[in-house]
Amino acid sequence: MTRTFGWRQAGKALIFAVVVMAGALLGLQLAGPTAVDLGPFRMTFSLQPSLAGDTQVLLPPLGSLQLDTHEGPAHLQVRLDGLDRTRTEALINDPASIRRASQGVAEEARAGINRLVLRTVGVGVLGAMLAAALMYRRTRPVAWAGGLALAVLTASLGSAALSFNPKALQEPRYDGLLANAPAIVGDAQRLADKYDEYAAQLEKMVVNVGTLYNTVSNLPVYTPDDGTIRVLHVSDLHLNPAAWSVIRSAVEQFHINVVVDTGDINDWGTEMEASFVASIALLGVPYVYVRGNHDSAITQAAVAAQPNAIVLDNQVAVVNGLTIAGIGDPRFTPDKGGPATDGSEVKLAGEALAKTISGYGNKVDLALVHDPESAPPLAGLVPTVLAGHAHGRSVTSLEGDGKTTRLMVQGSTGGAGLRGLEHDEPNPLAMSVLYFDPAHELVAYDDISVGGTGLAEVSLKRHIIAREPLPNPSPSAS
């Protein structure tokens, strides 16, 4: 009888412990995550039970990091949710605030973890007590449940704190997208050092863009009037955050009416990269975009979610007076590891856009594609086609139905992305300003190159549209 009584009591104790732990875990899942502001970033800290412990940092757009910071039974997860537009704009407008923000990040992180610990204990204890109240409907078990949950959570968090290893922050393990980081961008610390140096140079470069714009004595004579529509053509940002500062400066200095992006704004098209496009909303002008072969449907949806963005995928839109048609790249080949194709799908995309333009009924002023190979079917249908993909500028002519179409291929506005910093001399950031007269005819364009020599250097070359024949397109090397 005594043995039976003992087993019965043990069973009740086990059930009680299960109820307490289930309630505590449910509370942590529902109310445990804590929002933390680190500089311009919105982040979520959460704790989950784990025998291994450790810390996981979900860091869009680069992927995730695993840090062996502590032993179990608590696993810390840090997720970057996005950018606060107001604080981000303040950082862009005041470069000195970047240094001030970086100095306060450690204190903000520490305060965030402290709030997370207090919240975890609070919601865990409350969840355990609520579960006990629903199960036993008596005061005493509820009090015992709260005490047990408090003891377990305190012991777990205390164990994690005592085993904290600060050196682990210098030895992250890459997962997901970042698993390719060593092969793509080399040593992370070396790249970070280069980026800091490059960012400092860009502060001077951005200022020089405006200086060059006002220094027109050596440029061909052309003075935009009040009726001129100014279009900034960017392409192939490839996740380089430095591009946004230069784009924003160009929008302001050149009084841009519309920005057009011919694709490859991302590198791998992952969900983690989606937050990269949040800077579009800070530009303050319409942003017309077509998908590149490095951009996924997730990327396209993220761009479309920006309040000033217009995504064209075999569509026509009138933007600030210009009628613009565009189609996204039909391929999704971020790693270029798929089977080789003959490019027929790219040509078919151009044919599909040509059909849409032909059926539109009104004149289309400008067409956007990602790969220049999509452009030939548009010959004679539109006066100007913009493209990217090749990471190099070129201007050629396409003949169709007795008319000439100007094909303008942009270089990489992101200097081919962060991997471009791996070279001793970073690739230049390329963009162009197109000037359309009140009749929507292209009358001039400025090619802008920022950086590329390791010095604070900006070059601007103005072109006045002449009537002489343009070069015929040469075979694509990309």
Distance from C-alpha of 69 to C-alpha of 67, rounded to nearest angstrom: 5
Cβ atoms within 10 Å, residue 264: 29
Q: What is the mean pLDDT of residues 288-315?
A: 96
167-to-70, 383, 460 alpha-carbon distances in Å:
11, 60, 47
**SS3 for 101?**
helix
Q: Which of 361, 367, 383 is nearest to 437 (CA)?
A: 383
- What average pLDDT does the chain have? 77
pLDDT digits (tens, 9 = 90+) for 3-29: 555 677 777 777 777 776 776 677 667
Q: Which of 388, 277, 408 is nearest to 328 (CA)?
A: 388
Banded pLDDT at 368 (limits 50, 70, 90): very high
Burial of 371 (0-12, 13-18, 19+ CB in 10 A): buried
Q: Which of 93, 113, 201 is nearest to 454 (CA)?
A: 201
DSSP 431: E
Bridge partners for 405 per DSSP: 398
Banded pLDDT at 210 (limits 50, 70, 90): low
Distance from C-alpha of 233 to C-alpha of 446, rounded to nearest angstrom: 10
32-to-28, 128, 187, 193, 236 alpha-carbon distances in Å:
4, 13, 36, 36, 40
Relative orientation angle of helices 139-162 and 96-136, to the nearest 10 degrees: 150
Sheet strands side by side (includes 173-175): 34-38, 41-49, 74-83, 55-59, 63-67, 173-175
Q: Specify the higher pLDDT residue, 441 or 194.
A: 441
Angle at 316 between CA 312 and CA 319, to 5 degrees: 85
Lowest-confidence region among 29-38, 106-115, 201-210, 448-457: 201-210
Q: Where in the chain are all domains bearing CATH 3.60.21.10?
A: 186-333+344-464
pLDDT digits (tens, 9 = 90+) for 212-270: 555 444 455 566 777 899 999 999 998 888 889 889 888 988 889 999 999 999 888 88
Instruction: Let me know if domain 186-333+344-464 sits in CATH 1.10.287.1040.
Output: no
**SS3 for 77?**
strand
Distance from C-alpha of 233 to C-alpha of 263, rounded to nearest angstrom: 11
87-to-83, 97, 107, 304, 406 alpha-carbon distances in Å:
8, 10, 18, 22, 41
DSSP 373: G
Looking from the CA of 296 toward its CB, the CA atoms found within 13 Å total 11
Distance from C-alpha of 252 to C-alpha of 258, rounded to nearest angstrom: 12
Residue 477 phi/psi, 5° resolution? -95, -5
Bridge partners for 32 per DSSP: none
pTM for the model stands at: 0.61
DSSP calls for 213-253: HH--TTSPS----TTPEEEEEE---TT-THHHHHHHHHHHH
